Amino acid sequence: MRARAERVGRGGAFPQSLHGLRSMHDFQQGPPVNCYVILLHSQSLRRCVRMNKTWADMPVETEATRVETTRRVPFLAGWPPSRVLHVVVALAASLVAGCAVGPDFKRPAAPQVSGYTTGLLPTTATSANVVGGEAQRFVAGGQIPADWWRLFHSSSLDTLIEQSLKNNPDLKAAQAALSVARENVLAQRGAYFPSVTGSFSASRQKQSELISPTPDANIFQYSLFTPQVSVSYVPDVFGLNRRTMESLRAQEQAVRFQMIAAQITLSANVVAAAVQEGALRAQIDATRQLVNINSRMLRIVRHQSARGYAGRLDVAAQESQLAQVQATLPPLIKQLTQTRNLLAVLVGRFPSQAPAGKFSLSSLRLPTDLPLSLPSKLVAQRPDVLQAEANLHAASAQIGIAIANRLPNIALTADVGSTALAIGQVFKSGTGFWDLGAAVTAPIFEGGMLLHQERAAKAAYVQAAEQYRSTVLTAFQNVADTLAALEQDANGLKAAATAADAARVTLDLSQRQWKDGYAGYLSLLSAEQAYQQARINLVQARANRLADTAALFQALGGGWWNRGEPDRSGQDRAGAPGGQPVQVDSTQDKHEK
């Protein structure tokens, strides 16, 4: 804070205005400061004393400075209470305009990158005549809808996600944590205002007769009734309260973005569980058909063995094949049960109260146009990145708090009340009293505690900065991994569809040959087994594509900034006016497009 003041000698003219208090703080140098400290400020007296010393030298001279100040203004003792009160209030108002020590936080700049991957983003491969085999196109700079799950066009999925956002206990806990953080911010505001307390005391006492009695009535045993109002105020000269408020606000933002991340994660988990349920049901159906096919093949081989057309080795091989297929069925059923239980818990229900609806892959439509945020926008959209930034902001404010704790603290106090020997005389003339006071306290020796606390705060800031960088790198990795997964999922689906088509053709030919007598029944069953296995691979490929599409929306931030409704804390979920994400430098937009 810049300031301008004039120094005058004794008897000189005083400046008519003082624009503020100036402080210089170096992040590396620590607590030495250079401030104009206002000692008195009234209608008839405006004086300032400039101190060019480190605060290590200040406490030794505090008492001497106070005595010298009192000697220079002896008329203060003769002032009426109203005028003295005016001086104290003016002094408090002047001290409020003090400086805030510590570094001022600046938002980290967006990463200087133009893409998520090393190459261009092509349109994914397409698979003809396959449900979910459409090509997916990436729309650079496209807007992510807040309810992105509706792009799957499943009313059952939409209902389930809405129920989870209303009833999930983890999300409610995150909302309660946000309320706690907000109340802590509001509670800290009280430090900006004076503290006013009222008290009433009544006592009965007997005084020693060897000394003069306290009451004017010359009695040694009496009662005292004292109502009193006390006012205390601590001016925020060096910004301790402001830095504390700054830290709490940053912590509130961190909790808020943590809640938003919980909402996005919850929605993505519901989608992933629904896709998993549909895939498991299709795999279980195909596996059961494989079990039936292998059971029929075993019966045929045993019949041939009984007639001497097959040996014991053939029977054992078919029994092993059947057992292997049967062994794959219980794990699939277990996963399906666990997935159903997961869906019940995600919507805030017990496993015995799982949703009645069942999901299938055919009920989910693959989104074809996928919005892809620009890299410079990702750090303003990912809630985990914004949470790390808020933690960095809080760590920056903690440095100012640690520095302010090493500096002097000024406290102003005032008391007014009445003392009487009888309760009926409390407010009579002559029973009133008042006092005004000011105190300056400063640490002299703390065994290095405050110094090391400041160093710890600076180290915590470096830690938070590296954690922020790690979070940003992880965010870009998530997007890059998901883009690569979508591309390979499309290729995998295409290969699985080709294999399924070939297996289907083989099965058709085997059925014709068996009907015409050119092939045995075992050959037909082998063709059916190969087809069912190809069908299972196709189901897994379709499920991977749907799940990774949901993962892309999650990796890009989930579109939370496009929600317009307020959350339970009373704040707009978008975090900025108009439902826009946190603004960052967009000079790279044109190049990235």
Q: pLDDT tens-digit profile of 555-572? A: 999 999 998 644 444 444
Task: Summarize the confidence of residues 407-430 as an average pLDDT.
Answer: 91
DSSP reduced 3-state for 517 = coil
pLDDT at residue 81, rounded to an integer? 57
Q: Contact, 322 vs 291, CB < 8 A?
A: yes
Q: What is the pLDDT of residues 218-231, one digit of tens each?
A: 778 888 899 999 99
Of 139-153, 157-171, 205-219, 464-478, minimum mean pLDDT range: 205-219
Task: Summarize the confidence of residues 447-452 as an average pLDDT.
Answer: 94
The secondary structure of residue 111, as a DSSP letter, is P
Q: What is the radius of gyration, based on Cα positions, of the chain?
A: 39
Task: Summarize the confidence of residues 472-484 as an average pLDDT.
Answer: 95
Beta partners for 417? Answer: 228, 433
Of 78-87, 183-192, 382-391, 461-470, minimum mean pLDDT range: 78-87
Name residues whose C-beta falls within 8 Å of residue 130's C-beta, 6 or more positions apart in sequence. Answer: 493, 497, 538, 542
Indicate whether 211 pLDDT > 90: no
| Distance, CA of 553 to CA of 372 (rounded, Å) | 9
Task: Summarize the confidence of residues 166-188 as an average pLDDT.
Answer: 96
pLDDT at residue 82, rounded to an integer? 59
pLDDT at residue 85, rounded to an integer? 54
Task: Work out the pLDDT band at 172, boundaries 50, 70, 90.
Answer: very high
Residue 103, Cβ density class (10 Å: 0-12 exposed, 13-18 middle, ≥19 buried):
middle
Task: Work out the pLDDT band at 84, boundaries 50, 70, 90.
Answer: low
Task: Work out the pLDDT band at 12, boundaries 50, 70, 90.
Answer: very low
Residue 272: name the closest of 149, 147, 125, 132 by CA.
149
Task: Summarize the confidence of residues 13-23 as an average pLDDT.
Answer: 31
| Distance, CA of 31 to CA of 102 (rounded, Å) | 9
Task: Work out the pLDDT band at 58, boundaries 50, 70, 90.
Answer: very low
Name residues whose C-beta falls within 8 Å of residue 228's C-beta, 6 or more positions apart in sequence. Answer: 198, 199, 200, 201, 415, 416, 417, 418
Residue 274: HSE in the Cβ half-sphere, 13 Å Cα cutoff: 33
Chain centroid to CA 105: 18
| Distance, CA of 5 to CA of 23 (rounded, Å) | 13
Instruction: Considering only residues 117 and 451, tell me which one the structure prediction assigns the higher pLDDT.
Output: 451
Buried b (16+ CB within 10 A) or exposed e, 173-194: ebbebbeebbeebeebeeeeee
Indicate whether 385 pLDDT > 90: yes
Q: What is the pLDDT of residues 104-122, one digit of tens each?
A: 999 999 898 888 888 766 6
| Model confidence pTM above 0.85 | no
Task: Summarize the confidence of residues 268-297 as an average pLDDT.
Answer: 93
Indicate whether 244 pLDDT > 70: yes
Task: Summarize the confidence of residues 578-591 as an average pLDDT.
Answer: 40
Name residues whose C-beta falls within 8 Å of residue 68's C-beta, 6 or more positions apart in sequence. Answer: none
Task: Summarize the confidence of residues 453-479 as an average pLDDT.
Answer: 96
Distances (CA, A) of 398 to 56, 294, 384, 472: 21, 69, 21, 23
Indicate whether 272 pLDDT > 90: yes
Beta partners for 228? Answer: 199, 417
Q: What is the pLDDT of residues 347-370, one digit of tens each?
A: 999 999 888 888 999 999 999 999
Task: Summarize the confidence of residues 137-166 as an average pLDDT.
Answer: 93
Q: What is the pLDDT of residues 92-103, one digit of tens each?
A: 555 555 578 999
Average pLDDT, the chain: 80
pLDDT at residue 98, rounded to an integer? 57
Residue 111, Cβ density class (10 Å: 0-12 exposed, 13-18 middle, ≥19 buried):
middle
